[in-house]
Each structure stands twice: as structure tokens, then as C-alpha cells.
């Protein structure tokens, strides 16, 4: 995969010729609405040019392998063919396309180092009998380098047909789906949501559903509601009974607790509630995770931060979703939603308190459009999908810029009323920077907020970097 940043004079035809990829592949991969209206500064994902063969009557894997100069085993491995005798006319096979021509003086060891692939994998794929006897001019298939295996979670707020279709389309990229949300009540009951059909779709796509529990009340997080739960163990027991019943009835595999804006004095109360929850759910085979605010230090002040005890969560629960987004938020001044400089600071602090394999780094699937000048307490910014952000730049004929420190795209424009706007959003470059951080720091995975904002490039970049854990 390559990320191409559109320059003045670029056309899709020219880009396709440059990378030797069919133009339609680029259009489909990026869901480009108008191929004749590219935006300067737009980041386009160039998919790998794959070679495919449509099986004809009378063909065998041996004949196909001979035609393309590859081994039968490499075709079987590439296409995950369980029974080589059961191939059929019309079946499409992907033909391995990474080769290395051996040069004088090269060894399998030096070739394996060059491509970052184990020697035994090169030997196996090429059916090499004696690894010491390779020769100049010999063509070797280079198997795909093993990618890190990560967990991927996504929150979703729409459960009807639209939400179900989203899960069908991107289900292969998800480990977990987290319908948002089940709201706790002060008497220990839980407000039920209509998620049954969504969960059925998730199961058919081998996605593990997480039940999201929040202290959400009347449209906002309630500090008082959480406090009422924390100080009454009888209410907690009733709540846990209800949670278990819901999880078992609906097939939830885990519980994700997203309690926000907690009173600072409830820090240890929250920790104890988590311990009670884990002790109840883990013996039943359920995981328990939390969502926490992005902190720079243990004693960071503020209602959003103080009761979120990273060190305790790192010990108590199975994994922690760190909500590394909303630096730029709809009610605040314009800036990148998840600047990589700030995301890095939060994760580096988190690693001093939480094991890396328990950290799920939050990632936004959206941006914001602010009307300028920004006035505190004034009009809130409009949420915008990455795809719509590019389309809006095209609509107003402006170029997309890229902030190197934040590793985020942005642009300004004037609307029909003459009002100036600034848009910050995500693109292939910004998510690549975040995925690089996940790999560098060996994190458990990523968690998206929130599905429903079209961002086709993200899923291509994700799978170019990682393999997705499935249970």
C-alpha cells in the first residue's frame, strides 16, 4: 500500500499509470465520488496491484503455477485452499507477486534480513531442499512479512438497518463491537437498548460484542449517579445481577465500563466497584474493560481525570480503552481532534501504569468544521466524516494542508455567506502515524469512536499494518 498526496496537475489516470494500478481499483478503494475532482493535498490510498487468475476448464494448480512461475504451495497458501483437488472453473485465485532474483554472493540469511522474513518461511514457500544451494539468477518467492496481531474495537450508536449494514461492510476488521450504551440507574436497573439484530450481524462476522455500561443520564454523564452506585453495595449487587442476565440473554462476551466525570473522592470507590465487577464476571468467562480519559500524569486535576486511576485499572481489568481524542472538540477552539504529539504523551504516561498489552489506543473516525472566529460558548463545531471533509474541500475549491506536528490534515474555506471556516479531520497519513505508534509501543490494539462516519482509507491502512484478532 502507498499513500499518495495529490499535487497540482494530478489526475486519477496519471496516478494509476504512475503506480501501475487500475484506476477503478483506486476509485473503489477510496470511494471517490467524482474522479474528475481531486483535491490538492488529499491523501489517496493506492492499493497493491494484485495479480489474479480465473480458473478455466481443464486447468490444474500445477499448470497455473507453471504459467506464473510460482510454486503450487504458494498458491495454496495465498488462497487458503483446503483441498487442492476441489478447484473449479470461474474460481478466482490470487497469484503471489513478491519475488527476489538471487544475486552473486547472496545467501538465504541476507535475503531474509533484507525482507524481514524468517529463513524457514522462504525455504518452505519455495520448497528449497538444501538452503545452502541457492544460485545467482534464481527467482525466490518472498512470503508476506508477518504483521502484528492486534485487537480492534469500535463503538457504535446506531443499531437499526444502517448500523447493521456498517457492521456487515467492515466486520472483517473488528475484534469487538461496542453498542453505546446501556445506562445504569440509581436503583441498580439498566436501561435496555434495541441491539439484538445488530448483535446477530456481529456474530455472523465473528465479532465479539462488548456491553457498554455508562453513568449517562438525561443526555450527559452524571457524577451523582455514579456516586450513588459506588456507595451502596446492595445496589451494586443488584446491578451486577442485571448485567449478568443481559450479557447471558444477548450473548455479550465482555463488559466495557465507561464511567466519566466522576468525583475525585470516588477514585477508590470506583476501583472497588471494578474489583467487585471482575470478581463476579470473570468466573463466568466474561472480560471486563474500562474506558478512561487521556491523562498526562497520575495526579492530573479535573473532574474528567482524577477518579480514573490508570495503575489500578491496569491491575484490575482485562484491558483499558484510553480515549485519546477530543483535544479538538465541538465546543472548544479549533485544533486537531487527536494530534499525534499529545496522543504519544498520554500513551507514554499510561505505559508507566498499565501493561502495554492491556492498552487499547482510542482513534477518532471523524473531524470538525468550526465557524471562525471561534467564540467560547458560541456556536459549536459541526461533526464531519473524513470522506465528507474531502468532498467539502472539493466543493469550495480549497487545498488540504497537513500539520506536521499534529500529523493531521486541515483546511480553511469561506461559505456562501462569506463566513470563514476551518476543518480538522483524519486521513490516511494521520491514521498511519497512529498505527506506527501502536507498533512502536507494542500496544494491545485500537478502539474507534465512532462507526457511522465514512472513512474507507482507514480500513485499508489498518490491514496494511496489522492482522486482526478474531475469537
Mean pLDDT of 57-68: 85
CA distance 404 to 341: 10
- What is the pLDDT at residue 303? 98
Q: Domain for residue 454, yes or no?
A: yes
Question: Per residue in 375-424, pLDDT tens?
Answer: 999 999 999 999 999 999 999 999 999 999 999 999 999 999 999 999 99
Task: Say yes or no: 36 and 174 in one domain.
Answer: no
Which position has the higher pLDDT, 45 or 48?
45
Q: Domain for residue 96, yes or no?
A: no
Q: Report residue 401 as a C-alpha cell.
A: 494542508
Task: Say yes or no: 164 and 25 in one domain.
Answer: no
Task: Say yes or no: 25 and 157 in one domain.
Answer: no
CA distance 287 to 257: 11
DSSP string, 228-265: HHHT-HHHHHHHHHHHHHHHHHHT--EEEEE--S--GG
Antiparallel, parallel or unpaired: β 216-217 and 208-214: unpaired
CA distance 230 to 232: 6
List the beta bridge partners of residue 220: 217
Q: Domain for residue 397, yes or no?
A: no
DSSP string, 66-100: HHHT--HHHHHHHHT-S-TT---TT-EEEEP--EE
Nearest to 321 by CA among 180, 430, 165: 180
Instruction: Among 78-82, 169-173, 272-276, 341-345, name the one with the lowest average pLDDT.
Output: 78-82
Q: What is the mean pLDDT of the chain?
A: 94
Task: Say yes or no: 42 and 153 in one domain.
Answer: no
Which position has the higher pLDDT, 57 or 351?
351
Task: Say yes or no: 153 and 32 in one domain.
Answer: no
Please give the residue range of the domain that contains residue 8.
2-46
CATH number of residue 20's parent domain? 3.10.350.10
Q: What is the pTM of this model?
A: 0.85
Q: How far is CA 281 from the centre of its chain?
A: 27
Domain count, the chain: 2
For residue 137, name the pLDDT band (cuts at 50, 70, 90). Answer: confident
Q: Domain for residue 236, yes or no?
A: yes
CATH number of residue 241's parent domain? 3.20.20.80
Instruction: Among 50-64, 153-167, 245-259, 391-405, name the one with the lowest average pLDDT.
Output: 50-64
Q: Domain for residue 208, yes or no?
A: yes
Task: Say yes or no: 223 and 351 in one domain.
Answer: yes
Check if the beta carbon of residue 413 is closer than 8 Å to that of residue 398. Answer: yes
Task: Say yes or no: 231 and 356 in one domain.
Answer: yes
Q: Out of 42, 78, 260, 342, which one is annotated catalytic?
A: 260
Q: Domain for residue 203, yes or no?
A: yes
Task: Say yes or no: 159 and 20 in one domain.
Answer: no
Nearest to 382 by CA among 456, 446, 453: 453
Check if the beta carbon of residue 178 is closer than 8 Å to that of residue 451. Answer: no
Question: Per residue in 298-338, pLDDT tens?
Answer: 999 999 999 999 999 999 999 999 999 999 999 999 999 99
Q: Domain for residue 167, yes or no?
A: yes
Q: Domain for residue 103, yes or no?
A: no
Per DSSP, the three-state class of 4 is strand
User: Is 260 labeled as catalytic in the residue annotation?
Assistant: yes
Amino acid at each position: 500500500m502507498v499513500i499518495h498526496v495529490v499535487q497540482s496537475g494530478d489526475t486519477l489516470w496519471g496516478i494509476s499509470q504512475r503506480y501501475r494500478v487500475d484506476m477503478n481499483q483506486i476509485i473503489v478503494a477510496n470511494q471517490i465520488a467524482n474522479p474528475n475532482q481531486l483535491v490538492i493535498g488529499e491523501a489517496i490510498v493506492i492499493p497493491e496491484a494484485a495479480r489474479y487468475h480465473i480458473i478455466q476448464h481443464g486447468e490444474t494448480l500445477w499448470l497455473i503455477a507453471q504459467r506464473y512461475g510460482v510454486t503450487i504451495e504458494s498458491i495454496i497458501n495465498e488462497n487458503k485452499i483446503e483441498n487442492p483437488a476441489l478447484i473449479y472453473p470461474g474460481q478466482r485465485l490470487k497469484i503471489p507477486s513478491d519475488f527476489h532474483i538471487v544475486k552473486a554472493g547472496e545467501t538465504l540469511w541476507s535475503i531474509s534480513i533484507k525482507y524481514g522474513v524468517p529463513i524457514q518461511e522462504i525455504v518452505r514457500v519455495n520448497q528449497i531442499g538444501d538452503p545452502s544451494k541457492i544460485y545467482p539468477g534464481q527467482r525466490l518467492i518472498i512470503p508476506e512479512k508477518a504483521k502484528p496481531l492486534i485487537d480492534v474495537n469500535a463503538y457504535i450508536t446506531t443499531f437499526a438497518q444502517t448500523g447493521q449494514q456498517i457492521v456487515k461492510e467492515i466486520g472483517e476488521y473488528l475484534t469487538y463491537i461496542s453498542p453505546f450504551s446501556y445506562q445504569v440507574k440509581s436503583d441498580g436497573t439498566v436501561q435496555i437498548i434495541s441491539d439484538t439484530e445488530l448483535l446477530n450481524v456481529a456474530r455472523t462476522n465473528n465479532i465479539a460484542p462488548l456491553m457498554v455500561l455508562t453513568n449517562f443520564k438525561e443526555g450527559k454523564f452524571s457524577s451523582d449517579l455514579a456516586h450513588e452506585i459506588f456507595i451502596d453495595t446492595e445496589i451494586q449487587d443488584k446491578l451486577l445481577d442485571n448485567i449478568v442476565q443481559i450479557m447471558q440473554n444477548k450473548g455479550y462476551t465482555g463488559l466495557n465500563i465507561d464511567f466519566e466525570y466522576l468525583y475525585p473522592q470516588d477514585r477508590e470507590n470506583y476501583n472497588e466497584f471494578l474489583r467487585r465487577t471482575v470478581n463476579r464476571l470473570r468466573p463466568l468467562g466474561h472480560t471486563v474493560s474500562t474506558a478512561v480519559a487521556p491523562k498526562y500524569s497520575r495526579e492530573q486535576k479535573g473532574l474528567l481525570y482524577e477518579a480514573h486511576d490508570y495503575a489500578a485499572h491496569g491491575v484490575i481489568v482485562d484491558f483499558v480503552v484510553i480515549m485519546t481524542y477530543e483535544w479538538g472538540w465541538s465546543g472548544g477552539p479549533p485544533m486537531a481532534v487527536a494530534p499525534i504529539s499529545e496522543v504519544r504523551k498520554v500513551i507514554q504516561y499510561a505505559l508507566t501504569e498499565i501493561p502495554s498489552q492491556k492498552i487499547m489506543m482510542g482513534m477518532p473516525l471523524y473531524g470538525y468544521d468550526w465557524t471562525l472566529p471561534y467564540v467560547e460558548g458560541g456556536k459549536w463545531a459541526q461533526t464531519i466524516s473524513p470522506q465528507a471533509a474531502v468532498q467539502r474541500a472539493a466543493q469550495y475549491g480549497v487545498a488540504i494542508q497537513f500539520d506536521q506536528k499534529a500529523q493531521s490534515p486541515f483546511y480553511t474555506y469561506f461559505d456562501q455567506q462569506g463566513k470563514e471556516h476551518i476543518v480538522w479531520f483524519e486521513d490516511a497519513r494521520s491514521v498511519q502515524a497512529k498505527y506506527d505508534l501502536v507498533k512502536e509501543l507494542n500496544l494491545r490494539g485500537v478502539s474507534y469512536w465512532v462507526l457511522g462516519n465514512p472513512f474507507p482509507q482507514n480500513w485499508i491502512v489498518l490491514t496494511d499494518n496489522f492482522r486482526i484478532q478474531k475469537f
